[in-house]
Amino acid sequence: MNLLKNIRTTAINVFQNEANALLNLIPEIGDEFETCVKDVLKSKGRVVITGIGKSAIVANKIVATLNSTGTPSLFMHAADAIHGDLGMIKKEDFVICISKSGNTPEIKLLVPMLKTLGSKLIGLVGNKDSYLAKHSDYVLFTGIEEEACPNNLAPTTSTTVQMAMGDALAICLLTARGFTAESFARFHPGGTLGKQLYLKVKDVIDASLLPMVEESASLKEVVLEISSKRLGATAVVDAAQNLRGIITDGDLRRMLQNNFEVSEIKAGDIMTKNPKTILLDDFAVKAVEVMRTFNITQLVVKDNSSLVGFVHIHDLMKEGIV
pLDDT tens, position by position, for the chain (322 residues)? 465 668 888 999 999 999 999 999 999 999 999 999 999 999 999 999 999 999 999 999 999 999 988 899 999 999 888 788 888 999 999 999 999 999 999 999 999 999 889 899 999 999 999 999 999 999 999 999 999 998 998 999 999 999 999 999 999 999 988 876 666 656 655 555 666 667 889 988 887 788 899 999 998 899 999 888 878 889 999 888 889 999 988 888 888 777 667 777 888 888 989 899 999 999 888 898 999 999 988 899 998 878 888 998 888 888 777 6
Dump the DSSP string for 13-82. Answer: HHHHHHHHHHHHTGGG-SHHHHHHHHHHHH-SS-EEEEESTHHHHHHHHHHHHHHHTT--EEEEEHHHHT
DSSP state of 85: G
Q: For the domain bounded by 2-179, which CATH number is listed?
A: 3.40.50.10490
Yes or no: domain 201-318 corresponds to CATH 3.10.580.10: yes
Q: Is the pTM of the predicted complex or chain greater than 0.95?
A: no
- pLDDT at residue 5 in the model: 65
* Separation CA 58–CA 53 (nearest Å): 9
Domain with CATH 3.10.580.10 in the chain: 201-318
Q: Are 100 and 126 in contact (CB under 8 A)?
A: yes
Q: Does 77 appear as a known binding residue?
A: yes
Q: Are 205 and 309 in contact (CB under 8 A)?
A: yes
Q: At what angle do helices 157-177 and 54-68 cross, to 10 degrees?
A: 20
CB atoms within 10 A of CB 211: 23
Angle at 16 between CA 159 and CA 58, to 5 degrees: 10
- pLDDT at residue 4 in the model: 62
DSSP state of 91: T
Domain with CATH 3.40.50.10490 in the chain: 2-179
